[in-house]
Structure 1
Amino acid sequence: MDMTKRSALVKNFLGASPTWYKLAIIGFLVINPLVFFLISPFVAGWLLVVEFIFTLAMALKCYPLQPGGLLAIEAVFIGMTKPAHISEEIANNLEVVLLLVFMVAGIYFMKQLLLFVFTKLLLNIRSKKLLSLSFLGAAAFLSAFLDALTVVAVVISVGTGFYSIYHKFASNHPEHDSDVSDDSRINNPEHKQTLEQFRAFLRSLLMHAAVGTALGGVMTMVGEPQNLIIAKSAGWGFSEFFLRMTPITLPVFVCGLLVCLFVERFKLFGYGTELPGKVRDVLKEFDRKETAKRGRQDNVRLVVQALVGIWLVVALAFHLAEVGLIGLSVIILTTSLCGVTDEHAIGKAFQEALPFTALLTVFFTVVAIIIEQQLFNPVIQFVLQSPAASQTSLFYLFNGLLSSVSDNVFVGTVYINEARTALEKGAISLNQFELLAVAINSGTNLPSVATPNGQAAFLFLLTSSLAPLLRMSYGRMVWMALPYTLVLTIVGLLCVQHTLVPVTELFTQWKWITLPPLEALGHVAIH
């Protein structure tokens, strides 16, 4: 191969990514088989997990699907896991896949209504602290009943709409469907500075909302997928789950609100940026023009989208169908009643979700490797062999640690089943098992906000098309999540240590909770 062809091959590999990044990925691909065959499959498994996290951290350099996918393919070829095991993981998480494919697309067809509502909200609430609390509180409330990915999809759609409005104005092409990722047409230095300030403003709102999904998601059995698995294993219903989690979730939620006010008040960790006055003026003008040109047909579309939104909330809250199927119904209802019948127009709605769906499938491969190579087993055995008095705290901490580097659904499933097995063998009592279930649920939901790969909603935000527009990198998300991570983790731990046992005993003594017989409890199979 001559130098020209070799140079072309290097340039084609991972496209416009930096040369050092390309060399790093090539180095990973060379080292992994050597470590697997010559040192230890266990060490090679952990090395692959670290490498995959690296590709997530460098998401702004190269979308993680390609480098992460190459690492996953190689791992299958050298025997870290089997294709059948990956298929099993995908089948176990089919609900999440359908959610991404259909629900995110459904939200796309409601963006007209969402932009209308949130524009009014943004223009009428001038206090940044109050606005931040509104985003965090609304995300928490919705995530307690809806899926966190759905809530984040709404926030991303709104943020993209706001950003596009000002970017088109700043690039002097307000009516032109310009590329909002291209800043080359913004020649006015004042507009460039305002755009940077607006980016910081939107980043803070998005992070508050993302954390809100964790604060609300931990409260109910439908808030996160692992919550449902834990509730089924313990035999808890909706109200019982909520009550058992209350000693931890309510103090944590209050502290989360205080963190929101604190970082906004003192402008710490990238928060506190106000909405630029110029952007407010542009949004007001946009709202005025949209109101003026909105005809009867447009008003009917807004009404239809509002009714479909009500259907969405009711259907999800009462679990009338799987989340993905409800999303499909949203697509059908909004497109048919709002006059969207062109195939290409419908296809645009799927552009945001499908790359992430593919990336999540690669992530399932990593999860399959974690299971097959038993990477978490030493930690699990250490915790179960510890004294009963310290087990709840250790379960909470280790669940949080592992969830921040892996999938919290996987970690929660593995730990609750290990605890369930210990109960069936008589190693722990029923009361201890119930305390561990609360600790596991708290651990997989709260400390996992530390990194984007800790929760699917955070990862979805990082890999969305909005993230590069707002310059939201992996490192920046970790930094902005840091105050929440520290406070939520510490407060959660203190509650597990000091309030969980007495409050649970109080519930039991007063018989606020009707406990099912032990033999009625179902066993949830490990992934």
Structure 2
Amino acid sequence: MPVTMSQAFIGNFLGNSPKWYKIAILSFLILNPILFYLNPFVAGWVLVVEFIFTLAMALKCYPLQPGGLLAIEAVIIGMTSPSQVLHEIEANLEVLLLLVFMVAGIYFMKQLLLFGFTKMITKVRSKMAVSLLFCCASAFLSAFLDALTVIAVIIAVAVGFYAIYHKVASGKEFGADHDHTSEGQNQLNNDELEAFRGFLRNLLMHAGVGTALGGVCTMVGEPQNLIIAAQANWQFAEFAIRMSPVTVPVFIAGISTCLLVEKFKIFGYGAQLPDSVRQILCDYADHEDARRTNRDKMKLIIQAIVGIWLIIGLAFHLASVGLIGLTVIILCTAFNGITDEHALGKAFEEALPFTALLAVFFAVVAVIIDQRLFAPVIHWALAFEGNMQLVIFFIANGLLSMVSDNVFVGTVYINEVKAALLDGQITRDQFDLLAVAINTGTNLPSVATPNGQAAFLFLLTSALAPLIRLSYGRMVWMALPYTIVLSVAGLLAIETGFLADMTQHFYNSGLLLHHSISEVMGVTGH
């Protein structure tokens, strides 16, 4: 039968998304103007809930399109204005530059990162040691790089290893000059396959949690960190120092959890790499090492030097984060011979969709500000005093980040707390403590679901997930011990007064060290 115009419209609208989801979005678009006419405050809250719904349903449809339609309608009907949206984007320009340039810059350092993670798997035989290395390496990299890029590199490593296994399992060779096959090695049985899948699932989940452990520590670890740092007027070193009373004990608790789940083989962890698969991977690594030319080695050296510059530039805030990312792009491509425009363009493919989505975030934030939607909640939370106020903010941010997106939650709360500071409702010292509570609250409990963190969502939607049987439910189950431990550890650090007592001590001693190093290096600044 011929397709009618209405059927064609529904079929084209939001592509392959479920029909019920399409109807829901269209219903939102019809409902919002009516509600705004009747009660602007209620309509604003409904818009926020609808936007969170699009984030929670990210697996059905990327949130940019449905969220963007809601944001456009909000501007058209007067919930906010184009000038207010532009103001929010201008205020967070450094975040957008971070996503555009830093993620693209790390793309040109993938060879070095792939080399490092490959050596971890092939050279270390202990599963607990490998898990710990993946978790710690991801944490360290995410503290200085973008967590999404870090998990993308680890996914690339896992995909490469799975492809090697598949070639061997089907009797193929990975090099015409390299005879790797041996009896019993080219027909891996189902038990070995399942064990290999379990091994990769374990490493990917440990690495994913590692990006959260490291991402919470610095202003470049997650996009909302940069937003919080901008509102608090903190630079790289000050941000890390102020967060340390919470992030240090949480990191220790997270690493301990990694070891315990592996030792006791609970929550889906403890899968061992079969010896036959290990031999295949080692043979392949040796094969690649043998093929590596001096030009390839020089590329790795250049990337390592640029990586050192990246860490120094960020630690001493020699330029804005986005501009440092731009220097990484220029240095890596210039000295490694990447001059083709199309080769450069591929580096920006991962970051730009999320950059556009973040611009939509700011449009929704503009609605929240203009309609003062969070004012009652903030006033209720600010009615508490001392540590209890910090606990309330930590819990509220954590719960919302579990079901929506931590960038959105962190942006909204820090803006409202900054407004409370400017209105004289809180002191500057309390604002600093609340900023820590908001940052840790959005970063730590959000590991509970793939919705909460972009790195987890990227992992779930990758081509690797179905190959290793990593479903939404399995991710939630495997993240559960980390969710409990990280949330409780962060909450205790705040509730017991440890944060308030130690922040000033860490701040004074840490900044003294930072200024001393800066003077020695001849660097001035904050």
Q: How does 1:425-440 map to 2 (within 5 A)?
A: 425=424, 432=430, 435-440=433-438
Q: After superposition, what is the alpha-carbon deviation per residue over 1:180-218, rounded to whole angstroms, capped at 9, x for unaligned?
A: xxxxxxxx9968886676555444333323322332343
Shift of 1:325: 2.2
**Equivalent-residue separation in structure 2 for 1:233 and 1:12 (angstroms):** 41
Q: Are the counterparts in 2 of residues 146 and 317 from structure 1 also a CA contact under 8 Å?
A: no
The amino acid that maps onto 2:335 is L
Shift of 1:493: 1.8
Q: After superposition, what is the alpha-carbon deviation per residue over 1:55-101, rounded to whole angstroms, capped at 9, x for unaligned?
A: 33333333333333333333333333322222222222222222222
Cα–Cα, structure 1 residues 370 and 196, in superposed 2: closer, same or farther, change >3 Å?
farther
Q: Report SS of the residue matched to 1:126.
A: coil
Q: Report SS of the residue matched to 2:131.
A: helix
**Equivalent-residue separation in structure 2 for 1:172 and 1:346 (angstroms):** 36
**Equivalent-residue separation in structure 1 for 2:228 and 2:277 (angstroms):** 46
State the match for 1:355 in structure 2: 353
Shift of 1:290: 1.6
Q: Are the counterparts in 2 of residues 60 and 468 from structure 1 also a CA contact under 8 Å?
A: no
Q: Are the counterparts in 2 of residues 46 and 375 from structure 1 also a CA contact under 8 Å?
A: yes
Cα–Cα, structure 1 residues 24 and 415, in superposed 2: closer, same or farther, change >3 Å?
closer
Q: How does 1:19-418 map to 2 (within 5 A)?
A: 19-38=19-38, 40-149=39-148, 151-166=150-165, 198=196, 200-220=198-218, 223=221, 245-275=243-273, 277=275, 279-388=277-386, 390-404=388-402, 405-406=404-405, 407-418=408-419
The amino acid that maps onto 1:450 is A
Shift of 1:121: 0.9
Q: After superposition, what is the alpha-carbon deviation per residue over 1:239-274, rounded to whole angstroms, capped at 9, x for unaligned?
A: 666555444333222211122223333444444444
The amino acid that maps onto 1:413 is I
Cα–Cα, structure 1 residues 93 and 271, in superposed 2: closer, same or farther, change >3 Å?
farther
**Equivalent-residue separation in structure 1 for 2:28 and 2:173 (angstroms):** 45
**Equivalent-residue separation in structure 2 for 1:76 and 1:172 (angstroms):** 59
Q: After superposition, what is the alpha-carbon deviation per residue over 1:278-307, rounded to whole angstroms, capped at 9, x for unaligned?
A: 653443333232223222222222222222
The amino acid that maps onto 2:27 is G
**Equivalent-residue separation in structure 1 for 2:229 and 2:110 (angstroms):** 34
State the match for 2:488 in structure 1: 490
The amino acid that maps onto 2:24 is A
Q: Are the counterparts in 1 of residues 58 and 451 from structure 2 also a CA contact under 8 Å?
A: no
Kindly, what percent of the aligned residue pairs are identical? 62
Q: Are the counterparts in 2 of residues 408 and 454 from structure 1 also a CA contact under 8 Å?
A: no
**Equivalent-residue separation in structure 1 for 2:6 and 2:35 (angstroms):** 28
Shift of 1:410: 1.0
Q: Report SS of the residue matched to 1:350.
A: coil
The amino acid that maps onto 1:299 is K
The amino acid that maps onto 1:215 is L
State the match for 2:521 in structure 1: none
> Aligned residues, how many?
499
Q: After superposition, what is the alpha-carbon deviation per residue over 1:334-389, rounded to whole angstroms, capped at 9, x for unaligned?
A: 22222223222222222222222222322332333333333322211001122446
User: Normalised by the size of structure 2, how large is the TM-score?
Assistant: 0.79
**Equivalent-residue separation in structure 2 for 1:37 and 1:475 (angstroms):** 40
Cα–Cα, structure 1 residues 239 and 275, in superposed 2: closer, same or farther, change >3 Å?
same
**Equivalent-residue separation in structure 2 for 1:284 and 1:503 (angstroms):** 50
**Equivalent-residue separation in structure 1 for 2:221 and 2:333 (angstroms):** 28
Q: Are the counterparts in 1 of residues 105 and 325 from structure 2 also a CA contact under 8 Å?
A: yes
The amino acid that maps onto 1:410 is T
Greater mean alpha carbon deviation, residues 188-197 or residues 309-318: 188-197
Q: Are the counterparts in 2 of residues 14 and 22 from structure 1 also a CA contact under 8 Å?
A: yes
Cα–Cα, structure 1 residues 146 and 288, in superposed 2: closer, same or farther, change >3 Å?
closer
Cα–Cα, structure 1 residues 359 and 195, in superposed 2: closer, same or farther, change >3 Å?
farther
Cα–Cα, structure 1 residues 197 and 482, in superposed 2: closer, same or farther, change >3 Å?
same
The amino acid that maps onto 1:19 is K
Consecutive unaligned residues in structure 1, runs of 5 or more: 177-187, 516-527
Cα–Cα, structure 1 residues 114 and 279, in superposed 2: closer, same or farther, change >3 Å?
farther
Q: Are the counterparts in 2 of residues 81 and 368 from structure 1 also a CA contact under 8 Å?
A: yes
Shift of 1:415: 4.9
The amino acid that maps onto 2:29 is L
Q: After superposition, what is the alpha-carbon deviation per residue over 1:4-54, rounded to whole angstroms, capped at 9, x for unaligned?
A: 44433333233333333333333333333343334x333333333333333
Q: After superposition, what is the alpha-carbon deviation per residue over 1:418-463, rounded to whole angstroms, capped at 9, x for unaligned?
A: 55346xx4x6566655544543443343334334454455555556
**Equivalent-residue separation in structure 2 for 1:4 and 1:272 (angstroms):** 55
The amino acid that maps onto 2:35 is V
Cα–Cα, structure 1 residues 47 and 207, in superposed 2: closer, same or farther, change >3 Å?
farther
Shift of 1:122: 1.0
Greater mean alpha carbon deviation, residues 19-28 or residues 1-10: 1-10
**Equivalent-residue separation in structure 2 for 1:78 and 1:192 (angstroms):** 58
The amino acid that maps onto 2:317 is H
Cα–Cα, structure 1 residues 343 and 428, in superposed 2: closer, same or farther, change >3 Å?
closer
**Equivalent-residue separation in structure 1 for 2:128 and 2:382 (angstroms):** 43
**Equivalent-residue separation in structure 1 for 2:139 and 2:266 (angstroms):** 22
**Equivalent-residue separation in structure 1 for 2:416 and 2:142 (angstroms):** 23
User: Normalised by the size of structure 1, how large is the TM-score?
Assistant: 0.79
The amino acid that maps onto 1:78 is I
Q: Are the counterparts in 2 of residues 144 and 217 from structure 1 also a CA contact under 8 Å?
A: yes
**Equivalent-residue separation in structure 2 for 1:59 and 1:134 (angstroms):** 31
**Equivalent-residue separation in structure 2 for 1:240 and 1:456 (angstroms):** 25
Q: Report SS of the residue matched to 2:338.
A: coil
Cα–Cα, structure 1 residues 122 and 109, in superposed 2: closer, same or farther, change >3 Å?
same
The amino acid that maps onto 2:124 is I
Shift of 1:123: 1.0
- Alpha carbon RMSD of aligned pairs, Å? 3.9
**Equivalent-residue separation in structure 2 for 1:191 and 1:359 (angstroms):** 44
Q: After superposition, what is the alpha-carbon deviation per residue over 1:381-406, rounded to whole angstroms, capped at 9, x for unaligned?
A: 00112244632322322233344435
Greater mean alpha carbon deviation, residues 72-81 or residues 457-466: 457-466
State the match for 1:17 in structure 2: 17
**Equivalent-residue separation in structure 2 for 1:240 and 1:356 (angstroms):** 27
Q: Are the counterparts in 2 of residues 111 and 158 from structure 1 also a CA contact under 8 Å?
A: no
